Structure 1
Amino acid sequence: MVNFVDRLNAQVAFSPIGRWFRLEGSGHPKERIGSRFVTEIRAGLTTWAAMAYIISVNASIVSDSGGTCVCTSTTDPSCTNDTTYLACVNDVRNELIVSTASMAALSSFLMGLLANLPVGMAPGLGLNAYFAYSIVGKHGTGMVTYQEALAAIFLEGWIFLALSLLGLRQWLVRIIPESLVLAVGAGIGLLIAFIGLSPSGLGVIGGDTDNFVGLGGCTADNYVSNLPYYCQHGQLRNPTMWLGIFLGGVLTVLLMLYRVRGAILIGIFLVSIISWPRPTAVTYFPHTDAGDELFDFFKQVVAFHPLSKVGNVINYNYGNPRVWYALITFLYVDILDTTGTLYSMAKFAGLRDPVTLDFEGSTAAYCVDAFSISMGALVGTSPVTAFIESATGISEGGKTGITAIVVGFAFFVSIFFAPIFASIPGWATGGALIIVGSLMIRNVREINWDYIGDAVPAFITLIIIPLSYNIAYGLIAGILSYVAINFIPWVIRKLTNDRIVPPNYDASEEWTIPPGGIFPLWLLQITGRAPPSDEGLVLQERYVARHASIDTASQDHVNSGRSISTLEKHPEAM
């Protein structure tokens, strides 16, 4: 079996496919050390398994907006008791399952094929809640209609595409101080670990009426009245939580210790299979109305719902100023959220250029993201974004676009087998998210803790991301605090000609704009403004002398994910 896998890896690497995706052994000058075809497939399945929950979760959240359903009740503006309206909303939800899976399939496939990045894409959490509850409102009680909100998203995607082609999105991340960039990656690790501990994962952490969060893990009969996941007593007694901890968490870590391939994927599916039978204490389908509904959907196995209610229903009413308010809000949150996530995932995979601080395929990646946002609006869903769960596949060894293509193919299959794939419980993926969070937190080792002007903004970024449940808010807080803390000392230093500086100013992180400027190379070449090659080399040498460092977290991960045969063939990689 091992020989077959090695031969398959070698044959694919020597093929045009291997060269396109820069697999190790392909002969490409920038081949990605440690990348193997079989490993990429396993990594893609792992990422998909960690992301599969979005199929049902996104459909449930977005359908709360009511979609295109019309409430005609004069006494109940939200139609919470109108059976006809609620039946329409349920149809919208079933169609949104297809929309979510189809957009995840398309965007992930394009991300892998065109950008060659191991990053899964799908309609994002956070933005979908903002779309459903703030912009459209519960059952259409918000500021604009469902169709007008989709118009804002459609235009947002094309604006992003223009910014990506001009290189402005790439430049935005490159000028951010290095400590803040590192803090974003570590903050994302904390966020996904927190998601893994929360009720949408293992349920170890729940709500607390006094301290916002507290220990959870109680059964539903011990919830505080009208407050699900707020435990009155009986904390840490939910059997599903312990199933996820021991099989999805401890067992997965033990398998990783012994370098078992697909350890995270094994843990996720093992917990899921155990959770499917109904007459057990850990079933995903309890004998309740909600459980019966889930089980009825699960029994369909194969189901497809044509998009008659959410497909191509955009109302291009750009004369409504509230549509522009929604557009601007989506723009500033999404540009920081998606841009920061893509950058962090690329860095975690070890694909960042130490000179330009950009990552391979960045322009294509941002263009795919922008295109997918607009296409998602056409099928009725909220903005598509890069998923932080991609880190699970990267931690399994995914380093090329083959990983993302496998994610896309798995989501395509999910379109027709949505009942099965939508039934992976949160406690099956919770352990995997915590494990991946522990891998990503290693970025904090490279933050400049020696100078308080760098350390405090980095820490603020690090802590705000999980506490606000939003990557963009954490980055905004970090940038604002960095400017507030460092601007006055900079002014004093300039006015006194460097005579008055903080005592340990020499320990600060020098902020410089990386070589390359704002605009991409293709645009500079067209306009005849590309710098001479020798000048570019001088800039690179100067920059490397000041900033080049080994990305230890990513490199450690790469080494840990390689097979024994790989290390024997390439001992210098150790």
Structure 2
Amino acid sequence: MGWVHNFNVKVAKSKVGRYFRLEGSGHPRERKGSRFFTEFRAGLATFFAMAYIISVNAIIVSQTGGTCVCPGTAEDPICTKDPEYALCVNEVKRDLVTATAAVAALTSFCMGLFANMPIALAPGMGLNAYFTFTVVGFHGSGLVPYEVALTAVFVEGFVFVGLTLIGLRQWLARAIPHSIKLATGVGIGLYLTVIGLTYSAGIGLITGAVETPVELAGCAPQYRDVDTGLCPPSQRMRNPTMWLGIFLSGILVVLLQMYRVKGAIIIGILLVSIISWPRPTSVTYFPKNAIGNDNFDFFKKVVTFHPIGKILNVLKWDVSSYGGQFGLAFITFLYVDILDATGTLYSMARFAGAIDEKTQDFENSAIAYTVDAMGISIGALFGCTPVTAYIESGAGISEGGATGLTAMFTGLCFFISIFFAPIFASIPPWATGPVLVIVGSLMAKAAADINWKYPGDAIPAFITIAIMPFTYSIAYGLIGGIMSYIIINTTVWLIQIASRGKLIPANKEFKDPWTYKIPGGFLPPWLQRAMKGQKDFWREHEQYAGEDVEYSRDSHSSTEGPHPEKGVVGSGKSIEETSTLPMNKVG
């Protein structure tokens, strides 16, 4: 439409367009294919892919009991049958709905505004489960109370900021061997796929099993075994909500993307959600049971604001009686975040095409990592578990998001959801599950660029890819890949030295080179500029900006301005050209 194009051009030529480096802004590093309405659409896609966290995080973390006091009895030591305690926990859950949306809004908006990256943040999945069921425990039966655990998260966030300011996080992300970097993106893609196929945040096609690691599922909730969660063979693949998601949020979205329909992901998610809201139908999100009735009562409020009452700023600084447990929680949160959050943020930057292949860094990396780290401490004040970059950001990036405007629009959506929480908390998981599978398929393309010729690179890369989805942890995948890389290649090096160069593995000449001396140095760019005496050291002068590698979009982007002669939208490169570009989103 003409007015859309004209508006995009006006925004690009404004100060806003130059700040965010939109195409046509004249900035030396303008991001090709980035336009205002494309960023808006991408922000909506990211939000709808992430919206499940509003309710899911509240459901998981509220099981700690929050600040509620359990009197306990011999018959009911953790208050599973205490009605007053249950009401208090329900209030904590409503608090967490508001807190989750508020923290996601603030951190995502700041990531876009200050770092100019299309990456959204929110309290991370995985870490919230560790926080709930290991550190605090169900109804407070774990290592430390809820308030003390939040204090560990708060302190960990500031330590994280320190590691970012001295450049350790950036160096770690850049120094990881090339094949493992590529494998990280593929592993995250498979991790996203597993999320999209499970019951908690997907279509319920697979479930955990007893005799086998996973098993085919797809049955309606009433047929699932209460203890194991398994489906009887006669009911597998018969859940109508699963098929609704597969066809409308999966196949339909793929077809729309193939024909370059803008907003395909949003269309699929909204269509499935709207069909799933009426009662009673076989695909309703509000079945006639206790949980369905409670969700429907909340949904009917449409517009409401629930102030945070029980969990706001409840940190407890007197941790002397919890020394060992506090230290264990702090160290665990720190090392998991170093690997998980850093790996996710770096992989999303690579997926967006923002990595400089010379320095293995991306623009404003220090700011992006700092926002990510500060979000952890801010989230703790709101009563939330550690905040992290979300792999669901890939949904917006695949929709064409290339600048911080994408993350800012996602943040604004989360802010609006604070007041429309009943609506956004009611997006069913089968509406977003197929989208996550689609994004996972896009991220898996990087597997073609892994060095499969030399086992010293290939095996660690494969271990990284395999462990991430199978352990449901990005951090464990990185640990497995890095440790196997060190063991295999150090052993080969020692054997080569001991044999005086006579014993050399086959295909050693194909090994990817590795060095800890990364181009650009160990210290972050802002610190290097400060040491050189630049007064505005926090800002990179534009006269030097054009000297580095230009930001480019990969062929997965769905941006405005099709190039039918290339078979790709927006990038100006053919599929054959872009498929060789190395490229690689906790929650």
Whether TM exceeds 0.5 here: the answer is: yes
What's the counterpart of residue 121 of structure 2? Answer: 121
CA shift for structure 1 position 496: 4.5
CA shift for structure 1 position 218: 0.8
CA shift for structure 1 position 80: 0.1
CA shift for structure 1 position 206: 1.8
1:567 to 1:107, Cα distance in 2 relative to 1, 3 A: farther
Work out the CA distance in 2 between the residues paired with 1:32 and 1:60: 39
Work out the CA distance in 2 between the residues paired with 1:131 and 1:315: 16
Q: Deviations over 1:282-318 (max 9, x none)?
A: 0000011110001001001112222220001110124
1:227 is paired with a residue whose SS is coil
Q: Which amino acid aligns with 2:391?
A: I
Query: Of 309, 332, 341, which aligns to 1:338?
Result: 341
CA contact (8 A) 1:454 1:508 kept: yes
CA contact (8 A) 1:209 1:230 kept: no
Work out the CA distance in 1 between the residues paired with 2:220 and 2:383: 35
Q: Deviations over 1:198-234 (max 9, x none)?
A: 1120111123331121111112332224333544531
What's the counterpart of residue 313 of structure 1? Answer: 314
Report the more deviating stretch, 285-294 or 564-573. 564-573
What's the counterpart of residue 397 of structure 1? Answer: 400
1:214 is paired with a residue whose SS is strand
What's the counterpart of residue 154 of structure 1? Answer: 154
CA contact (8 A) 1:18 1:26 kept: yes
Q: Which amino acid aligns with 2:356?
A: D
CA contact (8 A) 1:222 1:233 kept: no
Work out the CA distance in 2 between the residues paired with 1:204 and 1:572: 38
What's the counterpart of residue 21 of structure 1? Answer: 20
CA contact (8 A) 1:208 1:230 kept: no
Work out the CA distance in 1 between the residues paired with 2:571 and 2:131: 51
What's the counterpart of residue 181 of structure 2? Answer: 181
What's the counterpart of residue 519 of structure 2? Answer: 515
What's the counterpart of residue 271 of structure 1? Answer: 272
Work out the CA distance in 2 between the residues paired with 1:142 and 1:467: 26
1:113 to 1:571, Cα distance in 2 relative to 1, 3 A: closer
1:420 to 1:225, Cα distance in 2 relative to 1, 3 A: closer
- Between the two proteins, the alignment pairs up a number of residues equal to 554
Work out the CA distance in 1 between the residues paired with 2:316 and 2:83: 27
Work out the CA distance in 2 between the residues paired with 1:525 and 1:3: 44
What are the residue-to-residue correspondences of 1:12-411 with 2, within 5 Å? 12-75=11-74, 76-200=76-200, 201-231=202-232, 233-319=234-320, 320-321=322-323, 322-411=325-414
Work out the CA distance in 2 between the residues paired with 1:14 and 1:561: 18
Work out the CA distance in 1 between the residues paired with 2:254 and 2:433: 13
Percent identity for Structure 1 against Structure 2: 55
Query: Does residue 435 in structure 1 map to residue 438 in structure 2?
Result: yes
What's the counterpart of residue 477 of structure 1? Answer: 480
CA shift for structure 1 position 387: 0.4
CA contact (8 A) 2:55 2:97 kept: yes
Report the more deviating stretch, 436-445 or 202-211. 202-211
CA shift for structure 1 position 555: 1.9
* Unpaired segments ≥5 residues, structure 2: 535-547, 575-587
Q: Deviations over 1:368-406 (max 9, x none)?
A: 011111011111010000000000000000000000000
CA shift for structure 1 position 498: 3.4
Report the more deviating stretch, 343-352 or 214-223. 214-223
Q: Deviations over 1:499-546 (max 9, x none)?
A: 43112110111112321222113323444599xxxxxxxxxxxxx9xx
CA shift for structure 1 position 567: 8.6
What's the counterpart of residue 535 of structure 1? Answer: none
CA contact (8 A) 1:34 1:566 kept: no
RMSD: 2.1
CA shift for structure 1 position 328: 0.4
Work out the CA distance in 2 between the residues paired with 1:398 and 1:527: 34
Q: Deviations over 1:404-438 (max 9, x none)?
A: 00000000000011000000000000110011111
Work out the CA distance in 2 between the residues paired with 1:571 and 1:437: 20
What's the counterpart of residue 564 of structure 1? Answer: 562
Work out the CA distance in 1 between the residues paired with 2:571 and 2:212: 52
CA contact (8 A) 1:207 1:231 kept: no
Name the TM-score, length of structure 1 as normaliser.
Answer: 0.93
Work out the CA distance in 1 between the residues paired with 2:237 and 2:276: 18
CA contact (8 A) 1:224 1:232 kept: no
1:408 to 1:86, Cα distance in 2 relative to 1, 3 A: same
Work out the CA distance in 2 between the residues paired with 1:233 and 1:456: 40
Q: Deviations over 1:40-81 (max 9, x none)?
A: 000000000000000000001000000000000222221000
CA contact (8 A) 1:447 1:458 kept: yes
Work out the CA distance in 2 between the residues paired with 1:266 and 1:89: 35
Work out the CA distance in 1 between the residues paired with 2:377 and 2:351: 28
What's the counterpart of residue 427 of structure 2? Answer: 424
CA contact (8 A) 1:317 1:323 kept: no
CA contact (8 A) 1:206 1:231 kept: no
Name the TM-score, length of structure 2 as normaliser.
Answer: 0.91
1:360 to 1:571, Cα distance in 2 relative to 1, 3 A: closer
Work out the CA distance in 1 between the residues paired with 2:36 and 2:156: 36
CA shift for structure 1 position 239: 0.3
